[in-house]
Chains A and B, each alone.
Chain A
């Protein structure tokens, strides 16, 4: 693998993670439990779509075969997507969405703090920008996990269930492959494994305050680095890509 190929794949993965989570969060539009939360989740979706646009646009430029951020988003099938599986998991109830958001945003806060210093100028610039937004996402999700976890019997039970259900999807965020190793050596990417301890400490602190039990050792889902996904991604894409698939090159 050349440095250019690795950089393309790395940027594509950053873009895919943002795009797929954005699509999931936007499903909450007009379904939020209260108006303020409806606005919050769609605000996050908007931040993420902006991030996806920046990374996928850069990926298309690196690839150099005439793709754009739009063709990358709307013309690839699920096996060509490289987002972590956690991003594509269905929303479930509001607490479930907040738990998923906590796991992802806490990881992203650590990731983008370091990517700000990437030797790739574009990645560093987008990371610096996105970090400001991710801080809000992480703080918001943490507040809700605490409020619901340390809330009523019902809300606590539901949050614990969500934690147990999503936990097996958390480790994939820290998986390293050939792309990561090559770019870490170049000073472009981040050693994801090195972020795990800080991430877990942060989650443990939130869980302690939320009176939520940390899941024990268990099987961890994997596969997205090879384009292998849960059954949910295909359904998500069929909805997201419908218009461009049915009417290719349709424009506003």
Chain B
């Protein structure tokens, strides 16, 4: 049981361990999905925002958060989904993008994504770094990724779409 009062920093610290179920090398904090924590007495409310509205990982993340907080002795934990402001890939940290690249997924590079279709013409290969790549399909294994192939090393790879 928690004997001293919970602090926001403490809870945020714990939650930074929770990985994105679909890209396990990055945490939900690095992805920008973890928005805030509100502590009221012994109650702990975690504010989460979905990457895509229908992201099926959200249910798993919610369960992971509750399980972790339960393990830490927080009995009264809730997770609230917020939509405002809308999640953007600009919230992903540079560190997260680098981890993603090493994992084999080309991270979203263009900030702001004014024109999503222009941004996707300059995607570099996460394996060899070549800029000579081509879109195979704008829609990949999850809503957030597109399928690409590299014309230099000929490896297929996924690109995390600018959003």
Contacts and interface: CB of A to CB of B under 8 A. Distances in A.
Interface of A: 36, 39-40, 43, 45-51, 53-54, 121-122, 124-126, 128-130, 132-133, 135-136, 139-140
B57 to A, nearest CB: 11
25 contacts: A36-B147, A40-B139, A43-B139, A46-B52, A49-B54, A50-B50, A51-B53, A54-B53, A54-B83, A121-B84, A124-B84, A125-B82, A125-B86, A126-B53, A126-B83, A129-B53, A129-B86, A132-B86, A132-B163, A133-B53, A136-B116, A136-B138, A136-B139, A140-B138, A140-B139
Contacts of B52: 46-47, 50, 133
Contacts of A125: 82-86
Given A48-B54, A133-B53, A136-B116, 15 more contacts: A39-B137, A39-B140, A40-B138, A40-B139, A43-B143, A46-B143, A47-B143, A50-B52, A51-B53, A124-B84, A128-B85, A129-B87, A132-B116, A133-B52, A139-B117
Interface of B: 50, 52-56, 82-87, 116-117, 136-143, 147, 163
A128 B83 CA distance: 9
A39 B83 contact: no
Contact of B86 (A39, A128, A136): A128
B53 A130 contact: yes
* Top 7 closest pairs, chain A to chain B, by CB: A50-B54, A50-B53, A125-B84, A36-B137, A46-B54, A125-B83, A40-B139
Contacts of A40: 137-139
Contacts of A46: 52, 54-56, 143
A36 B148 CA distance: 12
Contacts of B82: 125
A43 to B, nearest CB: 5
A107 to B, nearest CB: 18
Contacts of A136: 116, 138-139
A45 B53 CA distance: 11
Nearest to A35: B137
Contacts of A47: 52-54, 143
B54 A51 contact: yes
A156 B82 CA distance: 44
Contacts of B137: 36, 39-40
A63 to B, nearest CB: 19
A146 to B, nearest CB: 15
B151 to A, nearest CB: 18
A53 B55 CA distance: 11
Contacts of B54: 45-51, 53
B24 to A, nearest CB: 20
A128 B141 contact: no
A46 B52 CA distance: 9
B140 to A, nearest CB: 7
A217 to B, nearest CB: 34
B85 to A, nearest CB: 8
